[in-house]
């Protein structure tokens, strides 16, 4: 499966290189000229461009964890998928890269992400799931 990934402005644009190396198309919010857009404006570009969105801003796009309430992505009738990188620690560049590599490895095992969300979590001890 090859995806068309859009990296959110809360993550480093260099993640696009990792995506390309893994065989996906990739761009970032900065390179599209969408820096500073409100989330509800950005989601319109994500859906219209058929992007699988990669973010650390999980709560706004997926919805609050465990509540069943929908975030901006969940409220879309159809979308190309959502990838959330989560950590209880500050999201350093190396942490972002490590979590994104884990997501990319998992993507290789999936058929698609249409109307789905993938979350990669790092806990307080640095373990992931």
Return the pLDDT at 18.
97
pLDDT in tens, 89-125: 889 999 999 999 999 999 999 888 998 889 898 866 6
Residue 97 lies in a domain: yes
Number of domains in the chain: 1
pLDDT in tens, 34-85: 999 998 899 899 999 999 999 998 766 765 555 555 566 677 778 898 999 9
The better pLDDT of the pair 58, 24 is held by 24
* Residue range of the domain that includes 18: 4-122
**Number of C-alpha atoms within 13 angstroms, CB side, residue 118?**
23
Return the pLDDT at 57.
80
Residue 22 lies in a domain: yes
Residue 80 lies in a domain: yes
Residue 96 lies in a domain: yes
Return the pLDDT at 92.
94
Residue 92 lies in a domain: yes
User: Is the separation of the CB atoms in 82 and 118 below 8 Å?
Assistant: yes
Residue 128 lies in a domain: no
Give the list of residues 6+ apart from residue 51 with CB closer than 8 angstroms, or none. 4, 5, 6, 45, 80
DSSP 8-state code for residue 51: P
- When pLDDT is cut at 50, 70 and 90, the band that residue 28 belongs to is very high
User: Is the separation of the CB atoms in 85 and 70 below 8 Å?
Assistant: no
User: Which CATH number does the domain housing residue 65 bear?
Assistant: 3.40.50
Residue 127 lies in a domain: no
Q: What is the pTM of this model?
A: 0.88
């Amino acid at each position: 499966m090859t995806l068309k990934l859009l990296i959110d402005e809360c993550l480093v644009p260099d993640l696009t290189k990792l995506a390309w190396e893994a065989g996906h198309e990739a761009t970032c919010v900065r390179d599209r000229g969408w820096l500073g857009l409100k989330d509800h404006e950005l989601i319109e570009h994500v859906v219209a461009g058929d992007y699988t969105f990669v973010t650390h801003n999980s709560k706004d796009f997926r919805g609050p964890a465990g509540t069943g309430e929908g975030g901006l992505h969940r409220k879309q009738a159809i979308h190309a998928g959502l990838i959330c990188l989560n950590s209880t620690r500050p999201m350093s560049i190396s942490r972002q890269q490590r979590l994104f590599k884990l997501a990319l490895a998992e993507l290789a095992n999936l058929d698609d992400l249409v109307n789905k969300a993938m979350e990669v979590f790092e806990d307080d001890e640095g373990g992931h799931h």
